[in-house]
Structure 1
Amino acid sequence: MQTLARIPFFKDTSDIDLTAFDRRCTWKRYDQNEIVVDFEDRSSDVYFILSGDVRVLIRTAAGKEVILAEMKAGQFFGEMSAIDTVARSANVTALTRSELCIMPAAVFRELLFSSRSICEKVLRLLTGRIRESNARLTEYSVFDLKHRLYAELLRISAPRTGHDGQRIVSPPPFHHVLAARIGCRREQITRELSALDNEHLVEKSRGGLVLLKPKVLEARLAEAMRNEG
């Protein structure tokens, strides 16, 4: 059944009747590599991901495209244009077959103004995204390429089950994708990962790229930050 109650973001929302908004949204499926929204689109809808994965790209003033994030089921995007009505600042493309709930900006704003719990969730989410953007901006300003790579690997990894102290990036990241995430060339990523492998700090496994000693990477980042200060 196509209902907002299926969307994790609206779980435990009890101060508003969501069924009154169901008919004002649409549900759409996207094929792999299909563009959901593009740079400078004038649309202002909000997209909730029910299944699948999407990639968010931003474009620098020089025209270079950088991967901002990869999002999965349970997350949403497009809220900025819904709030300020400014043209899209990013491209979003489906990485896999995906199903999305498309909510018009007017409906999204009505929900925000009608439900304190939803408004608080959105405020916390926006604050989190601003903090992450500030962290990445600091990394670009302070760190060289290899330290930006350390920070990105730590950010996109998760604790490795059954291996205390280790983390894993799963599925294993493509070198060109890592390059697009930190603003460099694929060949540079290959070189730096080889160096980490030689130091026995990372290794490839069937399930992903394993960070064998993430605390070493964290210590190197902390030292680089101190040296910069």
Structure 2
Amino acid sequence: MGLFGEHQAFLEKLGEADRLALLRLGRPRDYEPQEELLSEGESGTFVLVILSGWCTVWRATERGRLILALRQAGELVGEMAALDGRARSATVSALDTVRALAVPGDRFRHFMAARPFVSGLVMAQLTERLRSADDQRSSLASATVLERLAACLVELADRAGREERGAVVIRLPLSQHEIAAAIGATREAVAKALRLLREQGLVHTGPKTITVADLEPLRLLGGAPSPARRGRRSAR
């Protein structure tokens, strides 16, 4: 589906000195669940570095929200406006309680200019996110709701799941409405597709939790390649 971009967050790619230098450039801000960090169409060039929590990146359409991506701790949002000076291209909302570092756009540009390695990281990140957006558009145009849901669950499991007792548990504050917005479907269609997957014993659902009992059938259904498994951790 392309909800996630790069496998390793921006902050994790920085050396300690560069990371500390960036953290000194801004000030922290706290956001409540569902609060907007950035709004589509607004002016402003500051960059946010997510320090904790999860965010959705979305755009408004005639049919409601379309979630373009999920962002987590260590990732940048708002960097495009800092680089081109244009209005925000999407809205970023907190899924849960979020803390982020707000860095003025001019400071962020100077930080990049003084560090060619950092400039390369930002360009690589933008390229990866563009590829993810292309994948999402392709899926919306050609796949069924069930196929898109399967691909979404596989991506969430590979990137944010934890292996527990032979299954993969996804604990994210995503409602069925938000899953529907992420795959370009209605809530009713997602509920029906989830029911089919539950009846087959492939998934189990609970409050803010989805447990995937067997990833391989979902991988085949969603047309997802075998994972590098970089984003998943085992429970201890």
Matching of residue 8 in structure 1 with residue 11 in structure 2: yes
CA deviation vs aligned residue, 1:137-196 (integer Å, no higher than 9, x gap) = 1111110111111111111124542445x4332137421111111111111111111111
Higher RCO structure, 1 or 2 (CA under 8 Å, sep 6+): 2
Question: 1:26 aligns to what?
Answer: 27
Structure 1 residue 79 displacement after superposition: 0.8
Structure 1 residue 125 displacement after superposition: 1.7
Structure 1 residue 34 displacement after superposition: 2.5
Query: Matched residues in 2 for 1:186 and 1:97: separation?
Result: 24
Query: Matched residues in 1 for 2:174 and 2:100: separation?
Result: 25
CA deviation vs aligned residue, 1:96-145 (integer Å, no higher than 9, x gap) = 33322111221111122211221222122222212211111111111011
Query: Matched residues in 1 for 2:40 and 2:135: separation?
Result: 24
When the two structures are superposed, what TM-score results if normalisation uses the length of structure 1?
0.80
Secondary structure at the aligned position of 1:209 is classed as strand
Give the residue type in structure 2 aligned to 1:157: A
Matching of residue 167 in structure 1 with residue 168 in structure 2: yes
Closer, same or farther: CA 173–104 of 1 in aligned 2, 3 Å: closer
Closer, same or farther: CA 32–174 of 1 in aligned 2, 3 Å: closer
C-alpha contact 2:52 2:100 (8 A) present in aligned 1: yes
C-alpha contact 2:55 2:71 (8 A) present in aligned 1: yes
Question: 1:200 aligns to what?
Answer: 201
Query: Matched residues in 2 for 1:207 and 1:38: separation?
Result: 25
> Unaligned 5+ residue runs, structure 1?
1-6, 224-229
Question: 2:3 aligns to what?
Answer: none
Closer, same or farther: CA 29–204 of 1 in aligned 2, 3 Å: closer
Question: 1:65 aligns to what?
Answer: 65
Structure 1 residue 10 displacement after superposition: 6.8
Give the residue type in structure 2 aligned to 1:161: E
For the pair shown, the structure with the greater C-alpha radius of gyration is 1
Percent of aligned positions that are identical: 25
Query: Matched residues in 2 for 1:222 and 1:178: separation?
Result: 18
Give the residue type in structure 1 aligned to 2:15: D
Query: Matched residues in 2 for 1:16 and 1:207: separation?
Result: 32
Closer, same or farther: CA 172–50 of 1 in aligned 2, 3 Å: closer
Give the residue type in structure 1 aligned to 2:163: T
Question: 2:178 aligns to what?
Answer: 177
Query: Matched residues in 1 for 2:19 and 2:219: separation?
Result: 44
C-alpha contact 1:13 1:118 (8 A) present in aligned 2: no
Secondary structure at the aligned position of 1:188 is classed as helix
When the two structures are superposed, what TM-score results if normalisation uses the length of structure 2?
0.78
Structure 1 residue 12 displacement after superposition: 1.0
C-alpha contact 2:180 2:186 (8 A) present in aligned 1: yes
Question: 2:106 aligns to what?
Answer: 106
Secondary structure at the aligned position of 2:99 is classed as strand
Q: After alignment, is 77-86 or 97-106 more displaced?
A: 97-106
C-alpha contact 1:200 1:212 (8 A) present in aligned 2: yes
Query: Matched residues in 2 for 1:117 and 1:163: separation?
Result: 41
CA deviation vs aligned residue, 1:59-108 (integer Å, no higher than 9, x gap) = 23x36321222322222200111111121111122233332211122111
Query: Matched residues in 1 for 2:208 and 2:60: separation?
Result: 31
Structure 1 residue 15 displacement after superposition: 6.9
Question: 2:96 aligns to what?
Answer: 96
Question: 1:86 aligns to what?
Answer: 86
CA deviation vs aligned residue, 1:3-22 (integer Å, no higher than 9, x gap) = xxxx9357415579827x83
C-alpha contact 1:168 1:211 (8 A) present in aligned 2: yes
C-alpha contact 2:37 2:94 (8 A) present in aligned 1: yes
Closer, same or farther: CA 212–195 of 1 in aligned 2, 3 Å: same
